[in-house]
């Protein structure tokens, strides 16, 4: 512990695949129990990954400050509580803090410069609670993974509420989400455009259970969206689903589309309306064996596009023709 208190110049802390690790900082057995204060003024990256038994940052009462922390990544650390919710486990009245249940971050003011946050779904509700009275003003990238989410857990996942409170988020990553309700049906006020409309980049990985990413009416409201990347979603048959569409569907700023290992994907857009992609510059389509066409209707682009389909790279302005030709060659 003495070493941990004196690592004042530490800039990055990365710990992966240490199955027996219980705590980041061990507790000394001698001495009177006091609240420890850990301050890491230069730490910019904290990355904890696949630590199946990690339960504490420190197994005692402590405060923690990361005034320069830019990136916080937490993956598969299922026993570790990242944020404090309204009441800690074992303390239903909230009158005292159980040192054995203390989460890593008690107050968001401990991470005032945070820009990139990736966390497991179990920490989403606690973060949502903290955001009622605190904020993360510099947060622009948010990632959420949904390992081992079941029906009973769904009521505690408030993805849209977090996006509503972090309108500065520009990049959103969703991984391993097998419950389409989390993304499509959870917002009772049907105002997804308010919460997603500010996004510039959207990445989905291994979200089995989703048949499409969003509807055409919502797609038209994503006026800042520049990049879409969808990988390994085996049930997805189209990216944009037609609903009450107009004569044209326009994604004004979309410049990059990457579709990878989507075994059921048939097309990008399922409607017959004209798809306008004036900023599109690059398309990558890999291991999508059922994709026969890009869009059911015509596609308007304003320049030659770099189109890579599996191992073939071409520069062309006709996406539908490129996909059709590649499909017939399989």
Find the DSSP H helices in the chain. Answer: 2-5, 124-130, 159-165, 180-184, 192-196, 216-219, 319-329
DSSP characters over 27-70: PPSSS----EEEE-TT--EEEEES-TT--BSSSSSEEEE-TT--
Q: What is the DSSP letter of 215?
A: E
pLDDT digits (tens, 9 = 90+) for 268-311: 999 899 999 999 999 999 999 999 999 999 999 999 999 999 98
**235, two tokens:** 């049930």
pLDDT at 125 > cutoff 60: yes
| 212 contacts 236 by C-beta, under 8 angstroms | yes
Distance CA 114, CA 71 (A): 6
pLDDT-derived band at 98 (thresholds 50, 70, 90) equals: very low
Find the DSSP H helices in 71-225. Answer: 124-130, 159-165, 180-184, 192-196, 216-219
pLDDT-derived band at 219 (thresholds 50, 70, 90) equals: confident
pLDDT-derived band at 50 (thresholds 50, 70, 90) equals: very high
Nearest to 151 by CA among 130, 182, 176: 182
| 206 contacts 231 by C-beta, under 8 angstroms | yes
On the CB side of 181, how many CA atoms lie within 13 Å of its CA?
A: 12
Residues in the chain, total: 330
Mention every residue, 6+ apart, whose C-beta is less than 8 A from residue 159. 124, 144, 182, 183, 186
Q: What is the DSSP letter of 287?
A: S
Map residue 25 onto helix, strand or coil.
coil
On the CB side of 11, how many CA atoms lie within 13 Å of its CA?
A: 0
pTM: 0.87
**329, two tokens:** 């060659």
pLDDT at 187 > cutoff 50: no
Distance CA 292, CA 3 (A): 60
**Would you state the pLDDT for residue 214?**
85
Distance CA 325, CA 330 (A): 9
**22, two tokens:** 């219980």
**51, two tokens:** 């630590």
| 34 contacts 79 by C-beta, under 8 angstroms | no
pLDDT digits (tens, 9 = 90+) for 58-81: 998 899 999 999 999 999 998 999
pLDDT digits (tens, 9 = 90+) for 130-176: 887 788 999 999 999 888 766 555 554 556 777 777 888 999 999 98
pLDDT at 112 > cutoff 50: yes
């Amino acid at each position: 512990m003495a070493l941990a208190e004196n690592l004042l110049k530490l800039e990055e802390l990365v710990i992966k695949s240490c199955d027996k690790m219980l705590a980041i900082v061990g507790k000394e057995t001698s001495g009177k129990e006091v609240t420890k204060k850990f301050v890491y003024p230069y730490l910019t990256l904290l990355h904890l990954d696949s630590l199946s038994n990690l339960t504490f940052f420190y197994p005692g009462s402590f405060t923690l400050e990361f005034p320069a922390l830019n990136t916080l990544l937490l993956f598969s650390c299922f026993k570790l509580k990242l944020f404090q919710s309204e009441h800690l486990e074992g303390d239903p009245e909230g009158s005292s803090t159980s040192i054995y249940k203390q989460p890593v971050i008690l107050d968001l003011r401990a991470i005032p410069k945070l820009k990139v946050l990736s966390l497991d779904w179990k920490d989403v509700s606690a973060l949502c609670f903290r955001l009622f009275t605190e904020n993360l003003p510099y947060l622009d990238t948010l990632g959420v993974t949904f390992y081992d989410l079941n029906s009973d857990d769904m009521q505690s996942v408030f993805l849209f509420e977090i996006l509503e409170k972090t309108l500065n988020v520009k990049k959103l990553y969703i991984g391993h989400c097998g419950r389409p309700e989390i993304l499509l049906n959870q917002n009772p006020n049907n105002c997804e455009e308010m919460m997603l409309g500010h996004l510039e980049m959207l990445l989905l990985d291994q979200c089995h259970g989703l048949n499409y990413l969003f509807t055409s009416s919502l797609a038209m409201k994503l006026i800042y969206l520049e990049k879409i990347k969808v990988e390994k979603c085996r049930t997805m048959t189209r990216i944009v689903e037609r609903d009450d569409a107009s004569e044209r569907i326009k994604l004004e700023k979309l410049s990059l589309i990457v579709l990878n290992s989507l075994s059921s994907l048939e097309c990008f857009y399922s409607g017959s309306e004209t798809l306008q992609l004036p900023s599109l510059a690059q398309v990558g389509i890999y291991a999508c064996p059922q994709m026969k066409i890009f869009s059911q209707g015509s596609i308007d682009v304003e320049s030659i596009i770099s189109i890579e389909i599996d191992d073939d790279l071409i520069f062309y302005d006709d996406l539908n023709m490129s996909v059709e030709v590649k499909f017939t060659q399989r």
